């Protein structure tokens, strides 16, 4: 099983991620005078990461929601205002907009009108992943920014989606079952809220008890220490990975799943569904395999519905069109 993931899947993903089309690695070389675009982006991300390492989770989620929310990696999620994608319920807790704005401002100062907001998202996410322990990967660039971002276009999977439906959802964008499991590995630095998982902790399927698939000690810890079972309590964050690895991009998320500590219903489900359990087991055994596959799958996600040429624009300010 490990050989299947580490050799065949990696070769397939390598082939896919090398076929970039109109976006290319090194797109901004010599396009910003003597300045290096990716170095500027990296510098701003590194400065933010130094005091807020959780920015890696914010950026991964931001890229995921931008690309898969409306099936276009076009920075449409950054557009603000009534009826925008930011007002869609799944995007209420998306963060990181201010960092993208800071990077854009730094780039506009050096080379106005050159770097798109959508390329900034892709490069900044890569840089944060690397700072958090992930593998470096080249980011093909040359995207243009979209002109429209509507809440009505947002279609993101709920946390209780079934494995079959998750595979179908991601499959429509060309992802395999393995890649679906790898994308969910972004939860290695993810968080949710007590309100999202309260039924699993206190009243699973109307039983007035916890979900029996959850580790009993973990139920006690989450229910009594973190969430308190108090409707008047603050809606606390719950990390989706182990407490000692919540800010590190690694395969510990999969180990958590095998220990019956998957926080979201879909996390728990992929560990024990016959169509995905083998992948979870393999990824839990090899951090190197996970990091390699994760970087390739993120690159592939970043190519969904990209706009190039005259299809979009390079925004002067990421929160509004020109």
Which positions are catalytic?
65
Q: Is 187 annotated for ligand binding? A: yes
List C-alpha distances in Å: 50 to 62, 102, 124, 134, 187: 19, 15, 14, 16, 21
Cβ(287)–Cβ(251) below 8 Å: yes
Q: Is 230 annotated for ligand binding? A: no
Cβ neighbors of 239 (< 8 A, separation 6 or more) are 190, 191, 246, 263
Q: Is 76 annotated for ligand binding? A: yes
Q: Is 36 annotated for ligand binding? A: no
Cβ(69)–Cβ(63) below 8 Å: no
Q: Is 85 annotated for ligand binding? A: yes
Residue 300 to residue 118: CA distance in whole angstroms: 14
Cβ(78)–Cβ(67) below 8 Å: no
Q: Is 188 annotated for ligand binding? A: yes
Q: Is 243 annotated for ligand binding? A: no
Residue 256 to residue 223: CA distance in whole angstroms: 17
DSSP letter (8 states) at residue 32: S
Cβ neighbors of 118 (< 8 A, separation 6 or more) are 66, 73, 74, 75, 143, 144, 145, 146, 306, 307
Q: How is 34-79 classified by DSSP, letter by letter?
A: TS-HHHHHHHHHHHHHTT-TTHHHHHHHHHHHHHHHTT--SSGGG-
Annotated binding site for Ca(2+): 66, 74, 76, 85, 188, 241, 250
Annotated binding site: 66, 74, 76, 85, 157, 187-188, 241, 250
Annotated binding site for heme b: 187
């Amino acid at each position: 099983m490990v050989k299947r993931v580490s050799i065949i899947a990696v070769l397939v993903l390598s082939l896919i991620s090398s076929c970039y089309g109109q976006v290319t690695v090194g797109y901004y070389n010599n396009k910003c005078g003597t300045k290096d675009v990716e170095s500027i982006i990296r510098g701003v991300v590194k400065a933010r990461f130094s005091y807020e390492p959780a920015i890696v989770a914010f950026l991964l989620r931001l890229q995921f929601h931008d690309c898969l929310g409306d099936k276009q990696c076009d920075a449409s999620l950054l557009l603000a205002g009534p009826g925008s994608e930011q007002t869609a319920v799944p995007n209420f807790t998306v963060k990181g907009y201010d960092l993208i704005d800071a990077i854009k401002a730094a780039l506009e100062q050096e080379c106005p009108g050159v770097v798109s907001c959508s390329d900034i998202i892709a490069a900044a996410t890569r840089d944060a992943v690397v700072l958090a322990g992930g593998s470096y990967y080249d980011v093909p660039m040359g995207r243009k920014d979209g002109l429209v971002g509507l809440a009505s276009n947002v279609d993101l999977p709920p946390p209780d989606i079934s494995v079959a439906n998750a595979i179908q959802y991601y499959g429509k964008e060309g992802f395999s079952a393995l890649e679906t499991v790898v994308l969910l590995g972004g939860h290695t630095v993810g968080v949710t809220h007590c309100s999202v998982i309260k039924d699993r902790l206190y009243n699973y399927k109307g039983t007035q008890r916890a979900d029996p698939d959850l580790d009993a000690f973990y139920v006690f810890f989450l229910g009594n220490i973190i969430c308190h079972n108090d409707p008047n309590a603050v809606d606390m964050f719950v990390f989706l990975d182990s407490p000692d690895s919540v800010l590190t991009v690694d395969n510990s998320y999969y180990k958590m799943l095998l220990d019956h500590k998957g926080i979201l219903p879909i996390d728990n489900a992929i560990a024990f569904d016959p169509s995905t359990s083998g992948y979870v087991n393999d990824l839990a055994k090899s951090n190197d395999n996970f990091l390699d596959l994760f970087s390739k799958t993120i690159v592939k996600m970043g190519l969904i519905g990209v706009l190039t040429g005259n299809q979009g624009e390079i925004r002067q300010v990421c929160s509004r069109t020109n």
